[in-house]
Structure 1
């Protein structure tokens, strides 16, 4: 699998990442092991997790599989901290919480460092400088090799990345930002992606298949058995992408796939994988078979005319201040 630099850093990662959101919940240890093996054998390196995935079980599962199945040196392990199961405070990016969470993640993962450590979300209560200091401490103490953020808006990302760069080499530059990005969710193109590209921050798209909708599995209206939409826990996650606007995009993806003798999954994944500024979409397959199908996209590059057609049908509406002034 092709390797790409993560932002303006020396870290190289596979251009498809393996997500573990469902590990320990929808994906048991046997399926997780099979998925990791398939991913590694395909040349994949970037494995993304978080301390809150299945209440830490996803990290624990990954830790059990590293070395026993895949050499630690062959993986780029990325985890996140800052989300908390507290209805009164969903995010805690204080220095104390983040560093304690990192230490707990390392114990579950069975390693003394992570390759990429990310702040899971912006915390409006904690001063941003304090949050970023935690990243600096994690890197300076060797517990993390690189640092990034997740779910930061455009101004939040720009402020954080600029603050780190202003340190003149004394602070850890942000390597990445993780955001949802697909043909059904192109909101990052408004401010996040331009900020990331300007500041040398690599984008790691989550839900690159539109929460599974872009595979075409929901075209008949009912959620197929075993899908996220059919499960009580994730039905609400999928529901926003089952409207008429999304259906038009899905039909365009299906048409493109038929013309290319490919699958809708491959077309949707190739589109986001090759967008400017994107480093590695994170694929959260439930089974090893689903993951294997996704990884077979490696040899597909979409023709320019197909990309333009998909761009047009999925184009988000950006008005003032993004609208071309010549049209006002």
Structure 2
């Protein structure tokens, strides 16, 4: 590719290759998460984007930098900036050999004027728009973005049939779904003791959807018992795994300091997240200080142990590292080498597990930071 940021092979980080289960899709073990480059956004009456980060030129530079450093899998969604993220990624796709890049997107959270985000005709329209945005004729992975299929799962079977049709028609190669996950609106409006068992819900959906790839949120702040179970399940089913938030959206890199109040603008999902509040950041920073004493004091040291703690979960897993600047992309990929010894990864898990327990003890992780306007909600997504 022609780029403003050419890198020779000698300077390219060494990234191990992974295969996503039985899909036949292979890619370097670190992929690029493209949520943040969608910018600030609102959906379902809530902030759902990122208010801080690069402008469009810097975002494109970051995508190009990732390619030059060896990343090949890029993950986005129709709702990230309501198409902005996909369109930016499409500018990279136009520059590189299509057969060498793995493209993943998602559907469901962007309902538009449809009755529901998983109404099949709406799904087809969204897929066609995503293909246009990404400047391609097919997606490698197309995923259900959430587990809400309407009242009494009205849209579940029609949505499954639509996905399988897309795959049969060659518009997508693999069907994806989230691991245990709550619909964003439920996390905000439903008391914890009324939400139901998300693991049981996931397994029921898994049996019906029969996905090829799972998107699993995992990082050093995720309880090990929870992670061990879902990764073991995925390996038993021989499905591919995309790990989201491996760096805790910057919380595990030391990007947030207790002596500096973080500022999030309108349309930033962190406005409603408990762990981005000052008291939680202080708890995390204390844990990171203990971790630095073991793995090293550089940001790269923290990134390395966080990424490898995720990659060690499964040989079928690729971790998705997001970015808000080109420098972050280069640092994340460069930090894979050298690989931390197993003892340091185990120590990191032990330290941050205690941090996670302290965070849970402080209360709910979702803050109703702004009222939810029910006029903006699809009638079937209650």
Task: Give the structure 2 partner of residue 9 of structure 1.
Answer: 23
Q: Deviation of residue 49 (structure 1)?
A: 0.5
Mapped partners of 2:142, 2:232: distance in 1? 22
CA distances 1:237-263 after superposition (whole Å, capped 9, x unpaired):
564255265344323332233179952
Q: Is the 8 A contact 2:300 2:332 kept in 1?
A: no
Query: Which range moves more in the overlay, 187-196 or 33-42?
Result: 187-196
Structure-2 change in CA distance of 1:100 and 1:292 (3 Å): same
Comparing 214-223 and 289-298, the one that deviates more: 214-223
Contact 1:203–1:278 (Cα < 8 Å) also in 2: yes
SS at match of 2:328: helix
Distance 1:259 1:196 in 2: 34
> Residues 260 and 291 of structure 1: is their aligned pair in 2 closer, same or farther, counting only changes over 3 Å?
closer
Q: Tell me how far apart the structure 1 counterparts of residues 245 and 122 of structure 2 sit (CA, whole Å).
A: 27
The change in CA–CA distance for 1:190 and 1:275 in structure 2 (over 3 A counts) is closer
Question: Structure 2 regions of 5+ residues with no counterpart?
Answer: 1-14, 40-52, 181-197, 358-382
Residues 1:94 and 1:76: Cα distance change in structure 2 (over 3 Å): same
1:25-44 map, 5 Å: 25=39, 26-44=53-71
Aligned to 1:208, what secondary structure does the other structure show?
Answer: coil
Partners of 1:257 and 1:29 in 2: how far apart?
A: 35
Q: Distance in 1 between matches of 2:202 and 2:237?
A: 9
Other structure's SS at 2:324 match: coil
3-state SS of 2:331 partner:
helix
Contact map agreement 1:182 1:208 (CA 8 A) in 2: yes
SS of the residue corresponding to residue 35 of structure 2 reads coil
Contact 1:149/1:177 (<8 A) preserved = yes
**Which of 256, 259, 271 is equivalent to 1:236?**
271
Deviation for aligned residue 1:117: 0.6
Q: Deviations 1:267-293 (Å, cap 9, x if unpaired)?
A: 222222222366111111111111100
Partner of 2:347: 309
Displacement after TM superposition at 1:190 (Å): 6.2
Q: After superposition, what is the alpha-carbon deviation per residue over 1:95-129, rounded to whole angstroms, capped at 9, x for unaligned?
A: 23322211111121121101111110112423533
TM-score by length of structure 1 reads: 0.82
Q: State the superposition RMSD in angstroms.
A: 2.8
- One of 105, 126, 132 as aligned partner of 1:101: 126
Partner of 1:23: 37
Q: CA deviation at 1:92?
A: 2.5
Deviation sequence 1:196-231 (CA, Å, 0-9, x none):
2221222212111112111112234314xxxxx422
1:178 equivalent in alignment to 2:209: no
1:221 lines up with 2:259 in the alignment: yes
With over 3 angstroms needed to count, the CA separation of the structure-2 counterparts of 1:272 and 1:237, relative to structure 1, is farther
Q: Which residue of 2 aligns with 1:320?
A: none
What is the aligned partner in structure 1 of residue 105 from structure 2? 79
- Which of 264, 288, 291 does residue 250 from structure 1 map onto? 288
- Separation in 2, partners of 1:255, 1:62: 38
Unpaired runs of 5+ residues, structure 1, are 165-172, 224-228, 318-328
Tell me which residue corresponds to 2:161: 133
Deviations 1:115-158 (A, max 9, x none): 11111011242353332212201100111011111254433443
Between 289-298 and 99-108, the greater mean CA deviation after superposition: 99-108
Q: Decide which of 157, 163, 178 is 2:208's aligned counterpart.
A: 163
Counterpart CA distance in 2 for 1:24 and 1:157 is: 27
Q: Find the aligned partners of 2:133 and 2:283 in 1 and give their Cα distance.
A: 42
Partners of 1:241 and 1:203 in 2: CA distance? 26
3-state secondary structure, aligned to 1:280: strand
- SS of the residue 2:248 aligns to: coil
Q: 110, 113, 121: which one pairs with 2:135?
A: 110
Q: Does 1:289 align with 2:323?
A: no
